[in-house]
Amino acid sequence: MAVYKRTYHVYSGPVTPAWSRFLILYRYSKQNLFRSKLQTAFFVMCFLFPLLCLLAIYLTHNLGFLAKYNLDPTRLFAIDNKFFFAFVATQGWLAFILATFTGPGLVSPDLANGALPLYFCRPFSRTEYVLGKASALVIFLSLITWVPGLVLFAVQASLAGSSWLWTNLWLARSIFLACSIWIAILSLVTMALSAWVRWKIAAAALLLGIFFIGAGFAEAINAVMRTKLGDLINILKLIGTVWLDLFRLGDNLAISVAQAWLGLLVICGVCLALLWRKVRAFEVVK
Amino acid sequence: MNPATLNERAAIDDQQPSITAGTSAPVIELQGLSVRFGKQDILQNLTCSFSGRTIGLLGPNGAGKSTLINTLLGFYEPVSGRARVLGHDIRSETRKIRRLVGYMPENDAFISKMSAVSFVRMMAELSGLPAAAALERAHEALFYVGLGEARYRQLGTYSLGMKQLVKLAQAIAHGPKLLILDEPTNGLDPPARQRMIRLIGEMRDAKELHIVLCSHLLRDVEECCEEVLILNKGRIVHYSNLEEERRANKRFLELEILGGNGDFTAAIERLGCECATIGANRLKMILSDGVQIRDIYRLAGERNIQIRRLNFRRDTLEDIFLKAMEN
């Protein structure tokens, strides 16, 4: 089938390993992300706050700087669990905005124009498809959340010494876990919504609606019913409760940590079920 | 063997006896295959085997053609029976089948913001080709189907005919051994249809792959296929090996003569041919082996009989289809 020959011939060359094929979708999704200048600029902006945090950590340990301006290190910045919680919370919001921009564009174009049969008529499963599409979001969100978080932790540990490291090692685990849960929730919810509505803009609007209108609805339930159980449908509250617990800041939580974990697991389950139902070559109308 | 005999031999009644065509290894084998959506039986107890280079699936809308294709590709789970594609079981070896198959679906299937070359390349990569080989073959496939000049345009800007050609390009880019085309000429204008049929014919003649052509357009199937399976309401209503029929039809003649019959009929029968007279001037005959048309002309010439018309009587696919539907 060479261009100049214009004849058909069977391909008989080497093939790639089956396990690696989901990364093909990651590669193409990455190209789509960086095609938009706005998204690229926002992605770059997401590294500003980690750089500021890095500067803060450096200055806290720079005795020359402190002496020059006669600053008290204990009053400047405390590099502790509250510092890292603030970092995760800030980057978490940025991750949410990035997911709102990019997430709905992952699956909906395939569904909108019926491209799914072309994926699944190949040696490529639905699980690999979801994994491949999610990997793009997971990798980008990781780059702005737990990766810089762990870099900051490592810098702080190298400057503060081994005693700080061993005392605060649990913080590294908390940073990773808190960001990972948030990334998983964002990825699954955005993908499930875009699979459901098949329209990028509508999916983005629905995502905002679920997070913010859901939170408002939960508060309304709490106020009317004089209960705290409305928080169980508030994703922001659920994730906040888990984060506060992970960073050992959860002294006065509205709902229990177990309830929050359960709520997040249910959300993940619903999203997976939705994806499983929608991401298929052909829908069977019974 | 005349067409009627062939049809009788191959006709499939409700008991669905097995059909085996050709002598080489079967491309597709169905054994009591049934598919059900909810309480509705879509395919019922299909049993047949094909080994031809081009196989046509014919039937009215809703006959189950696309469902059969989708079941062979593993999109639908059969409720009973077995099926094998290129020797691989559709239940347990779906991945192997998909590696060997190229599929062009009936409906729109593209990603509007992608260029044709990126789209075809991605699909080839998903079939297992390394990135460089996939890019090379994507360019080749797009040139082959006639989209070489438009290959960098976004698919969303393509016309319907171009979208059909892109679907064909993605189906052949990874070099499959079996190409499944579901209504490939749908919505095409006559020149575009002609081009699509020519491409299918070229691929068939290259003898590198088998083609399953699913269509409700008899002309498409008749022009491209060697074997035809006619489905109706989820059942096989007729199987026909068009190649064999074409060969058989060469022996079935209709003659119109002038100058009196005399012993012309008897002379033909003495050659070993079956012959029947219709009225004074018309004859029907089946040529026996070794008897050529020129022998008939010679006999006529010896008796001063003019042959005014000589036809090979042949059932068209339309005749076959209509008969199958009536049955």
List, for residues A143-184, the tens digit of each pLDDT value. 999 999 999 999 999 999 999 999 999 999 999 999 999 999
Report yes or no: B76 at the A interface, CB cutoff 8 Å. yes
pLDDT at B3 over 70: no
Of B108, B109, B208, the CB nearest to A8: B208
pLDDT band at B243 (very low <50, low <70, confident <90, very high): confident
The rounded distance, in Å, linking the Cα atoms of A42 and A102 is 11
**Closest among B46, B48, B49, B66 to B57, alpha carbons compared:** B66
Cβ atoms of A249 and A241 closer than 8 Å: no
- Give me the sign of the Cα torsion angle A244, A250, A253, A258: positive
pTM for the model? 0.82
C-alpha span between A150 and A174 (Å, rounded): 10
Q: Answer yes or no: are the C-beta atoms of A116 and A174 closer than 8 Å.
A: no
Q: What would the pLDDT profile of B170-186 be if each residue is shown by its tens digit?
A: 999 999 999 999 999 98
- Of the candidates B251, B243, B320, which has an alpha carbon nearest to the alpha carbon of residue B59? B320
- Identify the pLDDT of residue A285: 59
CB B82 within 8 A of CB B129: no
Query: How many beta carbons lie within 10 A of that of residue B40, not counting itself?
Result: 10
**Across the interface, which of B101, B108, B129 has its CB nearest the CB of A121?**
B101
* The CA-based dihedral angle spanning residues B106, B107, B112, B118, taken in that order and rounded to the nearest 10 degrees: -20
**Cα Rg of chain A, angstroms:** 23
Both tokens assigned to B271: 């050659």
B65 contacts chain A (CB < 8 A): no
Compute the distance between CA of residue B94 and CA of residue B33 in angstroms, rounded to an integer: 16
What pLDDT score does A284 carry?
64
Q: Extract the tokens encoding A241.
A: 């409760």
Residue B13: the pLDDT is 35
B268-313 pLDDT per residue, tens:
888 888 888 877 788 888 888 788 888 889 988 888 888 888 887 6
Q: Mean pLDDT over all residues of chain B?
A: 85
Q: Answer for the pair A124, A167: CB distance below 8 angstroms, yes or no.
A: no
The answer to whether B180 touches B72, Cβ cutoff 8 Å, is: yes
pLDDT of residue B18: 44
pLDDT at residue B34 in the model: 95
* pLDDT value at residue A273: 95
| pLDDT at residue B319 greater than cutoff 80 | no
Write out pLDDT tens, residues B201-210.
999 888 889 9
Residue owning tokens 């989820």: B234
pLDDT of residue A68: 80
Say whether residue A109 is in contact with chain B using an 8 A CB cutoff.
yes
Q: Best residue in B40, B43, B112, B126 to probe A by mutation, most A CBs within 10 Å?
A: B126
> Taking CB atoms and an 8 Å cutoff, what residues of chain A touch B85?
none
Question: Do A114 and B177 lie within an 8 Å CB cutoff?
Answer: no
Task: Please list, in sequence order, all residues whose beta carbon lies within 8 angstroms of the beta carbon of residue B215, skipping any fewer than 6 positions away.
Answer: B56, B57, B58, B183, B184, B185, B221
Separation of alpha carbons A36 and A32, rounded Å: 7
Q: What is the pLDDT of residue B10?
A: 34
Per residue in A23-53, pLDDT (tens digit) is 999 999 888 878 889 989 999 999 999 999 9
CATH number of B250-317: 3.30.70
With pLDDT > 70 as the criterion, what percentage of chain A qualifies? Answer: 95
When pLDDT is cut at 50, 70 and 90, the band that residue A9 belongs to is: confident
pLDDT tens-digit readout, B62-99: 899 999 999 999 999 999 999 999 999 999 999 999 99
Residue A1 confidence (pLDDT): 56
**pLDDT for the residue B2:** 36
Out of A74-78, A218-222, A262-266, B322-326, give the one with best mean pLDDT: A262-266
pLDDT of residue B7: 34
Sign of CA dihedral B222, B223, B229, B232: negative
pLDDT at residue B128 greater than cutoff 90: yes
Count CB-CB contacts under 10 A for residue A226: 7
Amino acid letter for position B97: I
- What pLDDT, on a 0 to 100 scale, did the predictor assign at position B17? 38
- Its sign, for the CA torsion B104, B106, B111, B117, is positive
Whether the predicted pLDDT of A264 surpasses 90? yes
pLDDT of residue A75: 67
**What pLDDT was estimated at residue A232?**
86
Cα gap B264→B307, rounded to integer Å: 11
Query: Scanning the structure block, which residue is given the tokens 């209504």?
Result: B183
Question: What's the CA gap between B310 and A182, in Å, rounded?
Answer: 82
Q: What is the DSSP string of A98-131?
A: HHHHHTHHHHHHHHHTT-HHHHHTSS--HHHHHH
**B3-246: what fold?**
Rossmann fold (3.40.50)
Instruction: Tell me: pLDDT of A69 over 90.
Output: no
Q: Which residues of B touch A285 (CB under 8 A)?
A: 37
Q: What's the pLDDT at B219?
A: 87
Whether B209 contacts chain A with CB within 8 A:
yes
Mean pLDDT (whole number) for A92-109: 92
Task: Give span(s): CATH 3.30.70, chain B.
Answer: 250-317
Which structure tokens are listed for B157?
């800007």
User: pLDDT per residue over A179-223, tens digit each?
Assistant: 999 999 999 999 999 999 888 889 999 999 999 888 888 888 888
Complex prediction ipTM: 0.85
Q: Do A18 and B107 lie within an 8 Å CB cutoff?
A: no
In this model, does residue B223 exceed pLDDT 50? yes
CA B187 to CA B167: how far, in whole Å?
Answer: 14
Is A44 exposed, middle or buried, given 0-12, 13-18 or 19+ CB atoms closer than 10 A?
exposed
What average pLDDT score do residues B43-52 get? 91
Q: CA B232, CA B236: separation in Å to the nearest integer?
A: 7
Q: Which of A11, A113, A119, A121 to mutate to test the interface with B (most CBs of B within 10 A)?
A: A121
Q: What is the mean pLDDT of chain A?
A: 90
Structure tokens at B224: 């491209």
| Residues in B 10-49 with any Cβ partner in A closer than 8 A | 37-40
**SS3 of A58, please?**
helix
Q: Please give the pLDDT value at position B281.
A: 84
